[in-house]
Amino acid sequence: MTDIARLTAHEILAPTFLFRFAVPIKHVETPWTATGKNAGANLDESFRLPSFGELEGRRLFADFRGAWHESGLAFHVRVAGKRQHPWCRESRLDESDGLHLWVDTRDTHNIHRAGRFCHRFAFLPMGSGRKLTDPIAAPVLIARAREHPKPAREGAIAAISHVVADGYELSAFIPAEAMTGWDTTNHTRLGFTYAVTDRELGWQTFTIGREFPFTEDPSLWGTVELV
């Protein structure tokens, strides 16, 4: 018997690949505060969303929280354990430290190429402005998509960040107008995944890891249920 034949299914396939994960995402009364002392998405521990990478023993370095409102989606991430300053470049989003979100407003899992209801957004804690210290919030085209969503209005999506000694905190808001097909009355399940990417700490993802092409394949995303 060859070594390959001796491998179990668990050893060949990541545990997170064998399941389709769905988790609740809670409603929040005030999803976003643009200015002031409490600017951003103020989400307590009850809004924390999991990383099922724990099933594979992957390291968790980010506290990731999310909420929904009729006006859009709000998220907050706290990255800790860094020894290096965040590395962020507006021209190199995929290589930067930050948060990437994928949202399918129709929760379609039987397609391998994104359609017009599939969105990707990038949020970086810094990298913009004259001193490159301002956060970045940008829609990103999904590779190999059959069709892209309508373009988001410039400045529609928002980010607020605070860099600290061992990492950063980053709040993100995606308004309804930036998501084609957003309809919280008739569509209360969203295809969803996230990745907190870090050049020093690696990737923390919602379900499967970067060894699978989830960045462009909606069939590999999980689901969040608007509750």
pLDDT value of residue 52 = 85
pLDDT value of residue 58 = 81
Q: What is the pTM of this model?
A: 0.90
- pLDDT by residue for the chain (227 residues), tens only, comes to 444 444 344 444 555 554 577 999 999 999 999 999 899 999 999 999 999 876 677 889 999 999 999 999 999 999 999 999 999 999 999 999 999 999 999 999 999 999 999 999 999 999 999 999 999 999 999 999 999 999 999 999 999 999 999 999 999 999 999 999 999 999 999 999 999 999 999 999 999 989 899 999 999 999 999 99
Break the chain into its structural domains and give their ranges.
48-222
Domain formed by 48-222, architecture: Sandwich (2.60)
pLDDT value of residue 85 = 95
pLDDT value of residue 188 = 98
Cβ contacts of 200-204, under 8 Å, gap ≥ 24: 200/82, 200/83, 200/84, 200/97, 201/59, 201/61, 201/79, 201/81, 201/82, 202/58, 202/59, 202/61, 204/51, 204/53, 204/58, 204/59, 204/60, 204/61, 204/62, 204/64
